[in-house]
Amino acid sequence: MRYDVVTIFPEYLEPLKLSLLGKAREKGLVDLHLHDLREYTFDRHRTVDDTPYGGGAGMVMKAEPWGLALDEVLAASPLNASEDSTEGTKSEGTGPAAEPAADTRPLLIVPSPAGAVFDQAMAYELAEEKHIVFAPARYEGIDERVLDWAQESFRVMPVSLGDYVLYGGEVAVMAMIEAITRLIPGAMGNPASLEEESHTGGLLEYPVYTKPAVWRDREVPEVLLSGNHGAIARWRRDRQIERTLERRPDLLEAYPVEQWDKKDRRFLAERGVHFANPAKAAQKKAKKSPAPQADTAAQADTAPQGESTQPDTAQPEANS
């Protein structure tokens, strides 16, 4: 994976050389290039911004420095070499056997409150990329013509870190690079850590403990000291569900209903959250689907009304 970051504060991203991310760079798993946008200016003040057309508060980042920087990044893209090596091997013709050519343009991510919200699912998708370029803006943003022009050579993707505004996009870039890199095979010290962490399976992670068994009169849950792996797994699963219900009920509502087992449903029912039996839900759905030669309206009118297949988190029992 190659990362290119164009910024007026390259030193802001120095922490990316530390810890496991730094080790991933040493292993050659990621290749990070920082570009100072001011190096692509020609006046003695190295100016990268100007007043907005139409008036208004703040300054806008000028187009030409960004254009020159992205020109250089594009010329050095590893995707150029892969594209040259496969030239002439793409499927030809327009028949059923012809396959559409893959889009080999680098991905240009522009941190923006107007972009798609970054999450773990997006991180997994981005970890499959070969070359990601980040364009963190400052001031009121980048001249829109830069993004219009960039679409000729890049896949442009505005991305938001969340529903709030920062001084600039560098913090968002650091967060995204960390989240993406740790999903690249070989980048984590213990790959198993990825399997049970928050958001990977749709629920929040369970609480964890280490030695000593008693600290300031607070004891580690007894089940974790029991050696009973089945009981420990159940306890952790229950804590995941409980924590998600308390802190992120929206995740609980989006969780696939067929993945709740009987013990999950019983645990949730004790807390006022009820689920339909997945098998019955499937039967209900099948009955609602119109038969090939049946009257659709009649089917809809006679379909049985059963339980909801989604959790009812609107009124869970408090503190239970």
pLDDT tens digit string along 295-305?
Answer: 444 344 434 44
Radius of gyration over every alpha carbon of the chain, rounded to an integer in angstroms:
26
- DSSP secondary structure of 137-150: --TT-B-HHHHHHH
- Mean pLDDT of the 76-82 span: 84
Residue 220, pLDDT score:
95
96 pLDDT more than 80:
no
| pLDDT band for position 33 (cuts 50, 70, 90) | very high
Tell me phi and psi for residue 212, to 5 degrees: -80, 165
pLDDT tens digit string along 176-231?
Answer: 999 999 999 988 766 555 555 555 578 998 999 999 999 999 999 999 999 999 99
Cα gap 266→189, rounded to integer Å: 36
Cα gap 13→181, rounded to integer Å: 15
99 pLDDT more than 70:
no
Average pLDDT over the chain, rounded to an integer? 84
Task: Kindly compute the dihedral angle of the four CA atoms of residues 111, 112, 114, 116, in this order, to the nearest 10 degrees.
Answer: 20
Residue 101, pLDDT score:
72
Residue 291, pLDDT score:
56
Residue 260, pLDDT score:
93
Identity of the residue numbered 282: A
Task: Report residue 117 as tokens.
Answer: 């919200």
The percentage of residues in the chain with a pLDDT greater than 70, rounded to a whole number, is: 76
- Burial of residue 43, with CB atoms counted within 10 A of its CB: 0-12 exposed, 13-18 middle, 19 or more buried: exposed
The residue with tokens 């590893």 is 78
31 pLDDT more than 90:
yes
129 pLDDT more than 90:
yes
How many other CB atoms are found less than 10 A from the CB of residue 35? Answer: 18
How many other CB atoms are found less than 10 A from the CB of residue 205? Answer: 16
Residue with the bigger pLDDT between 41 and 316: it is 41
Sign of CA dihedral 280, 282, 288, 294: negative
Specify the range with the lowest mean pLDDT, choosing from 52-66, 137-151, 294-308.
Answer: 294-308
Residue 311, pLDDT score:
52
Residue with the bigger pLDDT between 313 and 111: it is 111
Residue 36 near residue 7, CB atoms below 8 Å: yes
